[in-house]
């Protein structure tokens, strides 16, 4: 338990060795204990507690549901964890049965949290007649079950002060200042010392029951009925032996680990390694859909000159889905939901100069959005097709609105477009690619281009209202 100390009380004490000084066990052990305490404190301060890597819990699969008729053992993979006091918990790949668990044995079916605990022992034990040989302190782990599974919440803490500065947020989260959102929960035992160890049921191991690290949520089921009906392939005699082993008497339920939860119900908390933090900061855990390419790439670059009227008409009139790239087609890096790409999220806007002061007047072109490369309710691309009336009036009629030229903008509203996972569109322009720190999830992607004026059949060689790409009259 944390206590208040005097002003000049040392927090660490280790022996200082001098030449020709006798090295006794007390001083050497004191130096070792001090080093272990420093390591514990540093682990908690820098890393918190939880699973660093591994400690996966697997049930050997035997069928489409990946279950055994008799899940005698689960496989715990090689891993490293830190407990709330900063002690390292390590295991190699191992098989684990209910009979090998410490603590209270499950009394019936239900969900349980599987925890790993720090354990240690002296080899040989203090009471052993081992002669003058060295005694070793060995470190290991034991496992326990705790009723129920509480999902670990690794989300952001609630902020009551919406104007909180980053400096104040950091000071409050590390416990240097009081106030919401408060000190991080992984520091709750940072200034405490570990409690006393409890002897394990078998062997000379002792473990800390109060500092377990959750590694899985498991479902315990009763399979005793399967033994009686012949559903258990191990036979009645073997089933009876297991019941005696797990529960201590013949008529006890036959409890087995039936399922391991690895989704949102998992109680596992993690220690974020530096390489993992780099990946998370780079959003490597989310692959947002982006625009892969468009069918008019040369029209919208920064150095693009106005598109000729004939080229524009040829592309705007092409509505054949089998030749979508001859029209206005947009392709994504991964499929998106077809019901999210509509005239509300894919927009074709035209800007034409009015005659009095050359203002650019904007109007939305009526279009239909045709999904391309459809697979169920997903599409890999879309084609923007103006309505037939608009195409007839603006590209075939000699009194088109584009007699003085026009500007077009094709816009995708990323906040409205979703992929199969519900992720928004990453509105990074296609010429930027995957440059780091330039992601724009939910933003708009805009492709502007200019179209040269259309000459009417009754025109001469010049037009006083002809405009430059900047909208200035010539």
CA 283 to CA 275: how far, in whole Å?
13
Instruction: Indicate if the pLDDT at residue 247 is higher than 70.
Output: no
Among 208, 238, 273, the domain boundary falls at 273
Query: Does the structure show a pLDDT above 50 at 126?
Result: yes
- Top pLDDT among 149 and 256 is at 149
Lowest mean pLDDT segment, chosen from 181-195, 332-346, 392-406: 392-406
**64 and 209 within one domain:** yes
Q: Is residue 18 part of a domain?
A: no
Instruction: Report whether pLDDT(111) > 80.
Output: yes
| 11 occurs within a structural domain | no
Measured CA to CA, the distance from residue 155 to residue 132 in angstroms comes to: 55
For residue 381, what pLDDT is reported?
96
Question: How far apart, in whole angstroms, are the C-alpha atoms of residue 216 and residue 112?
Answer: 8
Tell me which of 3 and 220 has the higher pLDDT: 220
* Residues 6+ positions from 10 with CB-CB distance below 8 Å: none
Distances (CA, A) of 360 to 266, 352, 408, 455, 469: 57, 5, 11, 19, 12
Q: Is residue 114 part of a domain?
A: yes
| Residues comprising the chain, all counted | 474
**CB-facing half-sphere around the CA of 29: CA atoms within 13 A:** 6
Question: Could you tell me what percent of the chain has a pLDDT over 70?
Answer: 81
Q: What is the pLDDT of residue 262?
A: 66
**Are the C-beta atoms of residues 73 and 88 closer than 8 Å to each other?**
no
Q: DSSP character for 300?
A: S
pLDDT above 70 for 2:
no
Q: Respond yes or no on whether the N-terminal peptide bond of residue 181 is cis (omega within 30° of 0).
A: yes
**How far apart, in whole angstroms, are the C-alpha atoms of residue 187 and residue 199?**
27
Checking if the pLDDT of 65 tops 60, the result is no
**Residue at 239 is within a domain:** no
Rounded average pLDDT over 191-216: 91
User: In the structure, what pLDDT confidence band is assigned to residue 246 with cuts at 50, 70 and 90?
Assistant: very low
Residue 355 contacts residue 465 (beta carbons within 8 Å)? yes
Of these ranges, 218-227, 302-311, 333-342, the one predicted with the greatest mean pLDDT is 333-342
Do 311 and 436 fall into the same domain? yes
Res. 384 pLDDT band, cuts 50 70 90? very high
| Confidence category of residue 411, pLDDT binned at 50, 70, 90 | very high
Residue 186: both structure tokens together: 């992984």
pLDDT of residue 458: 62
pLDDT tops 70 at residue 8: yes
- Residue 417: asked if its preceding bond is cis (omega within 30°), the reply is no
**Is it true that the peptide bond before 124 is cis, omega within 30 degrees of 0?**
yes
CB 168 within 8 A of CB 160: no
The CA distance from 435 to 132, in Å, is 66
Q: What pLDDT does residue 321 have?
A: 83
Which residue in 197, 451, 204 sits closest to 349, CA to CA? 451
| 425 and 319 together in one domain | yes
Cα Rg of the chain (Å, integer): 35
**Is position 17 within any domain?**
no
Number of domains in the chain: 2
304 and 431 fall within a common domain: yes
Give yes or no: residues 31 and 179 share one domain: yes
Give Cα 346 distance to the centre of its chain.
29
Q: 21-29: long-range contacts (C-beta < 8 A, 24 or more apart)? A: none
DSSP H or E stretch at residue 316: helix 309-316
- Mean pLDDT calculated for residue range 80-86: 95
pLDDT in tens, 212-239: 999 999 988 887 655 444 444 444 454 4
Residue 221: how many other CB atoms lie within 10 Å: 19
CA distances (Å), origin 438, targets 13, 38, 435, 447: 50, 41, 6, 18
The whole-number pLDDT of residue 282 equals 73
Q: Which of 62-76, 185-199, 258-272, 422-436 has the lowest mean pLDDT?
A: 62-76
CA–chain centroid gap for 151, Å, is: 15
Of the two residues 466 and 303, the one the predictor is more confident about is 303
Is residue 474, in this structure, part of any structural domain at all? no
Instruction: Calculate ∠ Cα 323-324-328, nearest 5°.
Output: 140
Tell me, what's the pLDDT at 413?
96
Residue 70 is predicted with a pLDDT of 45
Same domain as 214, residue 119? yes
CA distances from 310 to 64, 230, 433 (A): 60, 81, 31
Report yes or no on 377 lying in a domain.
yes
260 plus 315 within the same structural domain: no
pLDDT higher than threshold 80 for residue 400: no
pLDDT at position 225: 57
Same domain assignment for residues 66 and 176 = yes
Strands of the 50-53 sheet, one edge to the other: 50-53, 79-82, 88-91
- The answer, as to whether pTM is greater than 0.75, is no
Residue 91 sits in the same domain as residue 197:
yes
Give dist(CA 377, CA 420) in Å, integer: 9
Q: What is the pLDDT of residue 433?
A: 61
Q: Is 86 exposed, middle or buried (0-12, 13-18, 19+ CB in 10 A)?
A: buried
Q: What is the pLDDT of residue 166?
A: 82
Mean pLDDT of the chain, nearest integer: 82
Q: Which domain holds residue 184?
A: 25-126+133-224+253-273
Q: What is the pLDDT of residue 212?
A: 95
The helix (H) or strand (E) run that includes residue 239 is helix 235-247
Q: Can you read off the two tokens belonging to residue 401?
A: 């609105």
Same domain for 327 and 264, yes or no, is no
9-57 pLDDT tens trace: 888 888 888 898 888 888 888 999 999 999 999 999 899 999 999 999 9
Domain membership flag for residue 349: yes
- Boundary of a domain, candidates 273, 308, 331: 273
Residue 283 has a pLDDT of 73
Are residues 41 and 162 located together in one domain of the fold?
yes
Q: How far is CA 345 from CA 213, 339, 342, 422, in A?
A: 47, 10, 5, 15
Distance separating alpha carbons of residues 96 and 113, to the nearest angstrom: 14
Q: Clarify whether residues 37 and 159 are in a common domain.
A: yes
For residue 292, pLDDT over 70 is answered with: yes
Cβ-proximal residues to 54 (8 Å cutoff; 6+ apart), any chain: 77, 78, 79, 80, 91
Top-confidence range, 99-103, 127-131, 316-320: 99-103
């Amino acid at each position: 338990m944390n206590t208040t100390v005097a002003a000049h009380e040392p927090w660490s004490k280790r022996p200082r060795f001098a030449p020709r000084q006798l090295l006794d066990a007390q001083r050497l052990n004191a130096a070792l204990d001090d080093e272990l305490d420093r390591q514990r404190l540093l682990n908690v301060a820098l890393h918190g507690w939880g699973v660093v890597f591994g400690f996966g819990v697997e049930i050997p699969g035997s069928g489409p549901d990946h279950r055994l008729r008799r899940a005698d053992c689960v496989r715990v993979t090689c891993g490293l964890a830190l407990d709330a006091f900063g002690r390292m918990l390590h295991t190699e790949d191992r098989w684990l049965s209910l009979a090998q668990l410490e603590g209270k044995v499950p009394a019936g079916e239900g969900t349980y949290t599987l925890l790993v605990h720090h354990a240690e022992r002296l080899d040989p034990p203090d009471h052993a007649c081992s002669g003058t040989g060295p005694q070793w302190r060995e470190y290991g782990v034991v496992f326990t079950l705790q009723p129920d599974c509480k999902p670990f919440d690794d989300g952001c803490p609630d902020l009551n002060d919406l104007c909180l500065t980053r400096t104040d947020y950091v000071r409050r989260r590390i416990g240097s200042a009081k106030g919401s959102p408060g000190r991080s929960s992984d520091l709750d035992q940072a200034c405490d010392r570990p409690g006393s160890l409890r002897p394990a049921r078998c062997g000379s191991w002792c473990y800390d029951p109060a500092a377990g690290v959750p590694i899985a949520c498991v479902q315990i089921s009763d399979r005793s009925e399967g033994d009686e009906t012949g559903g258990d392939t191990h036979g009645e005699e073997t089933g009876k032996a297991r019941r005696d082993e797990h529960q201590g008497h013949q008529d006890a339920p036959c409890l087995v680990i039936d399922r391991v939860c690895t989704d949102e119900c998992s109680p596992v908390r993690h220690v974020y390694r530096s390489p993992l933090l780099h990946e998370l900061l780079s959003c490597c855990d989310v692959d947002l859909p982006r625009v892969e390419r468009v069918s008019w790439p040369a029209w919208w670059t920064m150095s693009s000159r106005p598109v000729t009227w004939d080229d524009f008409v040829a592309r705007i009139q092409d509505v054949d889905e089998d030749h979508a790239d001859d029209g206005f087609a947009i392709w994504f890096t991964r499929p998106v939901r077809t019901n999210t790409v509509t005239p509300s999220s894919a927009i074709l806007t035209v800007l034409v100069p009015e005659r009095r002061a050359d203002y650019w007047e904007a109007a939305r072109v009526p279009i239909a959005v045709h999904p391309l490369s459809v697979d169920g309710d997903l599409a890999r691309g879309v084609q923007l097709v103006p309505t037939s009336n608009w195409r007839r009036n603006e590209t075939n009629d000699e009194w088109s609105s584009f007699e003085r030229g026009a500007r077009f903008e094709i816009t995708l509203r990323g906040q409205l477009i979703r992929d199969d996972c519900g992720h928004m569109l990453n509105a990074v322009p296609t010429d930027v690619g995957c440059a780091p720190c330039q992601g724009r999830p939910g933003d708009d992607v805009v492709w502007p281009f200019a179209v040269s004026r259309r000459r009417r059949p009754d025109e001469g060689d010049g037009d006083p209202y002809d405009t430059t790409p900047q909208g200035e009259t010539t």
